[in-house]
Structure 1
Amino acid sequence: MGKGIQVWTEPVIERRFAEGYGSGEGSNYIPWIGTHDVASKGRTHRPWSPIYGRTFQLLSDVEWQTFLLLEHSRKFAELYEGYPLERKITLEIAAALGIRHPHYPGTNVPTVMTVDFLAVDRRGTDARIAAFDSKRSEEMDGDSAEGSIAKLQITRAYFAGMNVPHHLVLHSQLNQRILENIEWIRSGIAKKGEIEPYDGYFNEKVDQMLYELMNGSHTCSLGEYCRAFDERHGMQLGDASRVARMLLWDRRLKCDLRNSKASSLPVNSFLVERDYASRRAVGQ
């Protein structure tokens, strides 16, 4: 049997809703469509997010890139991928706009439309919601453009009716250097079930590096500094780079991610979170 659901029917849709697909809050959310449910045209990704406490199911590279930016922004307390839209409303919108509602291939069953990401910002007194769809640029200017544009028209009208902003993310408009740097930083975060050389190893090295950066003057690149740090502290080659990425991930170390590889930037161009370092020093 091929990958994904072979034939979408009304009973299949009813069963999925009953099983909790497209529902749940926070870390308990289950996307309407997962990486094993469809034959994706591109690569799929299943990243674990320590920010959101669960594994995301992303159906393309551009969804992965959008996820990286949304997660890295730290603006959203909740992030839901593959979020289903209420079909009754999307059908009404399509009829009002004179657009044929999407149907599952080879059927007369109207598609349960989804938005790639629904993000919830809980800063302040009221929760603010934003919707994001991720597309490759050629999807908007090719043989399939008509269908893609029709879906976006329905989606935008749907969220406009809810007073929720809807954003279209095109891969050609993304800053690839920022994405490369975020991926590099993200690769240093602690893994589930990871075994350290000894208990508290990375926390200890994080404090040591933070102290050095706060109290020393370094003109070399971050990569060169990390290699020297490995040698000074008798660490396995590459561990200091991992420590630096942990600091960057936690925003205790900050730099401009836009134009250069973070590892090639001079150490004296980084900002050190001194308040955090002071709190660690007094055990807070």
Structure 2
Amino acid sequence: MLEWRLDNADIREQFPLDRDISLEIAHEIGVPHPYYPGTNVPCVMTLDFLVTRIVDGQEVLKAYSVKEQKALTPEVVARLEIEHAICSGMGLSYDLIIKERLPHAKVRNLLWIRKAQLEPDAAEAYPGFYEEHQSRMVQDLAATSFSGSLVDYCTNYDRRCSVDAGTGMRVARMLLANRALSMDLNNPRPERAPLASFQLSAVPGRLRAVGGA
């Protein structure tokens, strides 16, 4: 979900905290500092995510810890207290995210959209195949008044363009990932939503022209 926000300029995972500072903070707030199992070596603590966000043209750092409810043991809570205290001392916003409280439909839809993207070196029917069809679909959507659902439109697109079944839906998901198309991310079944509920934000011709180099 962090990746989806346009105002997030950078996302760093498992960002390490200075061990001397975390030891000092643990002592100050009276909670045990974690140690590597079976040793007397203090752990290097990390923030799950350190995000650089653009707010009013300025870069602002925000820290996040993401945990499952069942993982919130006393030891983990102590770690979170240390993380929170360190971030507060640095003037950073700090949020604890409980996975079970995330909007399930939105998370599922973002994964559905992300999985449409091509992996590096993935095979296509020919080089630029999906870029070409993204441009073609943008132009088609701008000109169409199709009254059915997204899946109906995509099935119709596959037939009209003589491409393999499922191509149109993947292209539509790519357009969603590229923000050329937008939808209600809380819809539990977006593929069954009326095509009219999707908003086209790309201008025909802005994407690479069909058949272009």
Are 2:165 and 1:237 equivalent residues in the alignment?
yes
- CA RMSD of the aligned region, Å? 1.7
Are 2:206 and 1:279 equivalent residues in the alignment?
yes
Partner secondary structure for residue 128 of structure 1: strand
Give distance in 2, aligned partners of 1:76 and 1:172: 23
The one-letter amino acid paired with 1:199 is: P
Partner secondary structure for residue 39 of structure 2: coil
Q: In percent, how many aligned pairs have the same letter?
A: 35
Give distance in 2, aligned partners of 1:200 and 1:125: 35
Task: Tell me what 2:100 maps to.
Answer: 172
The one-letter amino acid paired with 2:164 is: Q
Partner secondary structure for residue 168 of structure 1: strand
Q: Check whether the contact 2:134–2:207 (CA below 8 A) recurs between aligned residues.
A: no
Are 2:194 and 1:194 equivalent residues in the alignment?
no
Task: Tell me what 2:52 maps to.
Answer: 120
Are 2:64 and 1:132 equivalent residues in the alignment?
yes
- 1:34-45 aligned within 5 A: none
Q: 1:213: how far off?
A: 1.0
Q: 1:111 aligns with which of 34, 43, 47?
A: 43
The one-letter amino acid paired with 2:47 is: V
Q: 1:225: how far off?
A: 1.1
Q: Check whether the contact 2:135–2:205 (CA below 8 A) recurs between aligned residues.
A: no
Query: How high is the TM-score relative to the length of structure 2?
Result: 0.93
Q: 1:123: how far off?
A: 5.4
Task: Tell me what 2:150 maps to.
Answer: 222
Are 2:196 and 1:268 equivalent residues in the alignment?
yes
- 1:251-266 aligned within 5 A: 251-266=179-194
Give distance in 1, aligned partners of 2:191 and 2:82: 43
Give distance in 1, aligned partners of 2:78 and 2:29: 9
Task: Tell me what 1:61 maps to.
Answer: none
Q: 1:224: how far off?
A: 1.5
Deviation string 1:222-244 (CA, Å, 9 cap, x unpaired) is 11111111111100111111100
Ranked by relative contact order (alpha carbons within 8 Å, sequence separation 6 or more), the top structure is 2
Q: 1:125: how far off?
A: 4.3
The one-letter amino acid paired with 2:38 is: G
Give distance in 2, aligned partners of 1:83 and 1:214: 44
Task: Tell me what 2:81 maps to.
Answer: 153
Partner secondary structure for residue 87 of structure 2: helix
Q: 2:13 aligns with which of 81, 88, 95?
A: 81
Deviation string 1:34-79 (CA, Å, 9 cap, x unpaired) is xxxxxxxxxxxxxxxxxxxxxxxxxxxxxxxxxxx01112322111
Q: 2:24 aligns with which of 68, 89, 92?
A: 92
More strand per residue: 1 or 2?
2
Question: Which 4+ stretches in 1 moved above 2 angstroms?
Answer: 122-126, 276-283
Q: 1:124: how far off?
A: 4.6
Q: 1:202: how far off?
A: 1.3
Deviation string 1:181-228 (CA, Å, 9 cap, x unpaired) is 111111111221122212222122111211121111122111111111
Are 2:6 and 1:71 equivalent residues in the alignment?
no
Task: Tell me what 1:249 maps to.
Answer: 177
Q: 1:175: how far off?
A: 0.9
The one-letter amino acid paired with 1:156 is: H
The one-letter amino acid paired with 2:71 is: E
Task: Tell me what 2:138 maps to.
Answer: 210
Task: Tell me what 1:42 maps to.
Answer: none
Q: Which runs of 5+ in 2 are unaligned?
A: none
Task: Tell me what 1:162 maps to.
Answer: 90
Give distance in 2, aligned partners of 1:88 and 1:245: 46
Q: Check whether the contact 2:150–2:192 (CA below 8 A) recurs between aligned residues.
A: yes
Give distance in 2, aligned partners of 1:200 and 1:135: 40
Q: Across the two proteins, how many residue pairs are aligned to each other? A: 210
Task: Tell me what 1:51 maps to.
Answer: none
The one-letter amino acid paired with 1:151 is: R
Give distance in 2, aligned partners of 1:172 and 1:125: 33
